[in-house]
Amino acid sequence: MARQFMKGCEAIAEAAVRSGCRFFAGYPITPQNEIPEYLSRRMPEVGGTFVQGESEVASINIIYGAAQTGTRAMTSSSSCGISLMSEGLSFLAGARVPMVVVNVQRGGPGIGAIQPAQQDYNQATKASGNGGFQMMVWAPSTVQEAVDMTYAAFDYAQRDRNPVMILADGVLGTIMEPVVLPEPRSAEEVARLKAICRPWALVGHNPETEQRALVDSGDWNTKKMEQKCIDNAALYESWQAEAQAEELFLEDAEVVVTAYGISGRIAKSAVKLLRAEGIKVGMIRPRTVNPFPAASYEKLDYGRVKAILDVEMSIPAQMVNDVRLAVKDRCPVETCLHAGGEIMGRREIMDAVRALYR
Amino acid sequence: MERNLMVAGFGGQGVMTLGKFLADATCHSTDKNVTFFPSYGAEQRGGTANCYVVISDDEVGAPLGDAMDDLIVMNDPSLHKFLYKLLPGGTLFINSSIVTSEITRQDIKVVKVPVTGMALEMGNSKVLNIIMLGAYVGYTQVVPAEVVWNTIQQKLGKKPALLPLNKRAFEAGLAIGAEQREA
């Protein structure tokens, strides 16, 4: 298929529609406004529903209701807006209701800055709300990857009956890039996907011929509640086999750069420029940040790797903690950081690598 | 091969449109990778605005490079703010109608195009960006002029009445760019 020149946010929105998303609720916040703007026009075209909620809190709860019917549903926001949705996300995860949430990260904490950052890593991967629930978190570094991950996210959400997060950032949301869009799912296919959810979805069952469905995020029976937690934990554990990372030049690397999302693509470019200078540097770019691709660090030859450089647009660094858990003190893990809307440059990554390479 | 361009000026000068048209034309006419990244504050007309276009044979790493091969400045503040980003041997395109500061760097090429004046003479100050786009394409030949014109036509499709004016603007820019390339 021919490539199109699309803005990250609009491409994410279109990918959602093509995957079968037929319900969106959200509240405006920079730098993700193009997602609701696009869907406000696009959803009616495919018989879907677009709702601008009166707040983020309302929007996530509207999604909670819509997604309980098995309709593929999505919301999007940015950083402080995601914080407002944390209670709702916890309810969705507690009730095991599928949906997709997109966080186009900006500076933080608090109102932070409207410019791009990666300040929500811990929130996304460790605690997006109360109760110790987890979501699969996909971290695209190109508009194409954002499209492919968003398209797939709805399938993961439905398979697991759990929210899935796309963790993007303000650069990815606002850049335009060529992209090849996946084929849209037909109306019949979308209906079929929804019908699969019927056993658990609140779509009106005939009490004489069908089992009643109940969607509830908690249980007053402690034994049953404990079992819910055990089942959830088993789901989260099962994701480990699906962790993904892009690996580059690891065969002979003496310094390994690691970064996700926007920092990942900038780091990749820096690594290629350093390679052209003859510097033996490699790269691990997590594509999933939950599950974290620890196996990529496990298989490094620590007899050769002198150091790992973690590159993030977050101060303090956050992903570095997962990297250190994976590296287990077998080599030093250093950082190269920006925050507050300041965007990482290739030259500073290159300088940091050169300093470790000597 | 990677080429980094930054376009900077006042909001309202069509800085974003210039970058977007160029990037869009590149996407549709070549196999190259290209990114367009806008950067602006909360302002609209009158505030600062700039954008980055990266055209590359390989994947684009940084959508906003730290060093520019080409820099287009539409006003004086942008010149002072961003001139340092231009690589030695790079090309500076200036709106010479209003960028009047002396260019102190000796290690760069300078292409002067009085786009504000030219646009006013054509009867519409808004086409200054299309003149500059023409000059950039004429000088760099980074993408074929016809392809860029097709993109402009397509994007202005809803307002066909504006096409003749934009065609004149684009061609006037192209001519200046091509002329300075020869010089």
pLDDT at B43: 57
Cβ burial of A131 (10 Å; 0-12, 13-18, 19+) is middle
pLDDT tens readout for residues A37-61: 999 999 999 999 999 999 999 999 9
Note whether A266 contacts B: Cβ–Cβ < 8 A. Answer: yes
Nearest chain B alpha carbon to A180: B27
pLDDT at B48: 78
A146 touches chain B (CB under 8 A): no
| CB contact at 8 A, B87 and B65 | no
Chain pair A-B, CB pairs under 8 angstroms: 60
Sequence-separated contacts (24+) of B114-121 with Cβ below 8 Å: B115/B74, B115/B173, B118/B169, B118/B172, B119/B169
Nearest Cα to Cα of residue A243 among A294, A284, A293, A285 = A293
Interface test with A, best of B27, B36, B148, B154 (most A CBs within 10 A): B27
- Residue A176: which of B23, B42, B62 has the nearest Cβ? B23
Question: Is A347 in Cβ contact with B67 (below 8 Å)?
Answer: yes
| Alpha-carbon gap: B123 to the closest alpha carbon of chain A (Å) | 32
The number of domains in chain B is 1
Any chain B CB within 8 A of the CB of A285?
no
**With an 8 Å Cβ cutoff, is A269 touching chain B?**
yes
Q: Which residues form the domain of B45?
A: 2-182
pLDDT of B45 reads: 62
Mean pLDDT for each 10-residue chunk of chain B (183 residues)? 93 93 94 91 70 94 90 95 96 96 94 97 96 97 94 91 96 97 88
Provide ipTM, 2 decimals. Answer: 0.92
**Torsion angles phi and psi, residue A36, rounded to 5:** -60, -35
Question: What is the distance of C-alpha A355 from the center of its chain?
Answer: 32
pLDDT of residue B11: 86
Looking at the complex, report in whole angstroms how far the Cα of residue A267 sits from the nearest Cα belonging to chain B: 7
The alpha-carbon gap from A134 to the nearest alpha carbon of chain B, in Å, equals 31
Residues of A in contact with B27 (CB under 8 A): 3-5, 178
Domains of chain A, CATH where assigned: 4-196 (3.40.50.970), 244-357 (3.40.50.920)
Among partner residues B20, B34, B37, which is closest to A171 by beta-carbon distance?
B37
Percent of chain A having pLDDT more than 90? Answer: 99
Given this model, what pLDDT does residue A2 score? 86
**Residue A242: pLDDT over 60:** yes
A114 vs B contacts (CB less than 8 Å): 42
> 3-class secondary structure for A21-46?
CCEEEECCCCCCCHHHHHHHHHHHHC
Contact list in A for residue B61 (CB cut-off 8 A) is 265-270, 272, 346
Could you tell me how far CA A351 lies from the centroid of its own chain? 30
pLDDT at B41: 64
Q: What is the CATH number of the domain that holds B11?
A: 3.40.920.10
Beta partners for residue A98, in sequence order: none
pLDDT grade for A320, boundaries at 50, 70 and 90:
very high
Q: Read off the pLDDT of each residue in A291-307 and give the average, rounded to a whole number.
A: 98
pLDDT in tens, A105-144: 999 999 999 999 999 999 999 999 999 999 999 999 999 9
> If 0-12 CB within 10 Å is exposed, 13-18 middle and 19+ buried, where does residue A209 land?
exposed
Contact B37 A269 (CB under 8 A): no
Distance (Å) from the alpha carbon of A323 to chain B's nearest alpha carbon: 22
* pLDDT tens-digit map of A148-169: 999 999 999 999 999 999 999 9
Q: What is the dihedral of CA B60, A169, A315, A136, to 10 degrees?
A: -110
CB within 8 Å of chain B, chain A residues 212-241: none
B61 with A269: Cβ contact below 8 A = yes
* Residues 17 through 56 of chain A touching chain B, CB cutoff 8 Å: none
